Amino acid sequence: MERKRVFSGSRPSGRLHLGNYLGAVENWVKMQHEYDCVFAIVDHHAITTPFDPRELQTNTRDMLVDLLAVGLDPSECTLVIQSELPQHTELAWILGSITPIGWLQRVPTFKEKSEMHPDNVNLGLLSYPVLQAADILLYKAEVVPVGEDQLPHVELAREIVRRFNHRFGDTFPEPEAEVPRHTARIMSLTEPEKKMSKSLGPDSYISIGDDPETVKEKVMKAVTDTGPTSGEMSPGVANLFTLLREFGDEKQHREFLDEYEEGIIRYVDLKEATAAAIIDTLQPVRKRRQKLLQSPQRLREIMETGHERASTIACTTLREVKERTGLGPGREF
């Protein structure tokens, strides 16, 4: 039986962090064995917010290294760099021509990013979700493993599919987002009411490649509260519990929860245990990263193999789209 196609992507606007890992990439690693997966480093998306060309090059390589180090296996999935396959942007243009601007202006990330960078509200930022839809549709993906923040984008991709199929005939499946049950939204360590993100400063997130001292320092500085109250657990404390559950063991997590419920927890102990659990998990990842960084030839080969396979799929889809829309092939001259 044919395996379902999966697509997802990550922006190389910095290093892979624990939010990316728990919200999406951990699922990618699991899914690569069951599905036909294509994963992309989406550098065209990364240039919609301020960037430095040299850093973008390094970040793209580092993103590849991080993805491999956490367990993506190039013999089990297809890895691509978005800008190396022009079919992504070509399809985005066609989809952009059937997407009403009103749909795009309503997207929450457009509003957020425009406020964050008021002097750089560019066209790419507005059409960002169209390019994202093109990424998914180019491979006719049915499943899109992402964190919760990406749901509006996947919903928009579904709307674009409906519009395209209605106008030009059944071409694309409607993709479905797959969001993890417990880790759909990992919070920032410094501003725990916001999601963990590179844009909130280095202390707000933990990178996959952070060394043990840095991890410890960041976790110890994490914002909590002044002690348990009778109300709901504060977002900073809840976030530490999530990290401990994901990286540590269930028994330890249970013991701290009991202490929290009894009102006798010491946050310094919770932080120490959480930092230790993260450091333990990241140790082998760091080793694999270091090894991969020493073999640029291997990285090049991995990307070449990925591109070859991805471009076969991408060219087939684009040919079909162009035939259906009266562009290029099928002309009578």
Task: Point out which residues bind ligand TYM (CB under 6 A).
Answer: 7-11, 19-20, 23-24, 42, 45, 132, 135-136, 144, 146-147, 149-150, 153, 185-186, 195-197
Q: Toward ligand TYM, which CB reaches closer, 77 or 265?
A: 77
Residue 89 beta carbon to ligand TYM: minimum distance, rounded to whole angstroms: 12
287 has catalytic annotation = no
> Of the listed 111, 198, 216, 322, which one is catalytic?
198
Cα separation, 138 vs 18, in Å, equals: 28
What are the strands of the beta sheet with 5-10, ordered from one edge?
78-81, 36-41, 5-10, 143-145, 176-178
Residue 30 a catalytic site member: no
| Shortest distance, position 206 Cβ to ligand TYM, whole Å | 11
Which of 55, 250, 38 is CA-nearest to residue 141?
Answer: 38
Of 4, 111, 113, 291, the active-site residue reads: 113
Nearer Cβ to ligand TYM, position 24 or 265? Answer: 24
Q: Which is nearer to ligand TYM, 66 or 149 (CB)?
A: 149
The catalytically annotated residue of 111, 140, 195, 216 is: 195
- Report in angstroms how near the CB of residue 306 gets to ligand TYM at its nearest: 16
Q: Shortest Cβ distance from residue 171 to ligand TYM (Å)?
A: 18
Contact by Cβ (8 Å): 45, 132 = yes
Which residue is closest to ligand TYM by CB? Answer: 23
- Which lies closer to ligand TYM via its Cβ, residue 60 or residue 150? 150
For this structure, is 195 an active site residue? Answer: yes
Q: How far is the CB of 332 from ligand TYM (least distance, A)?
A: 36
92 vs 279 by CB, closer to ligand TYM:
92
Active site residues: 113, 195, 198
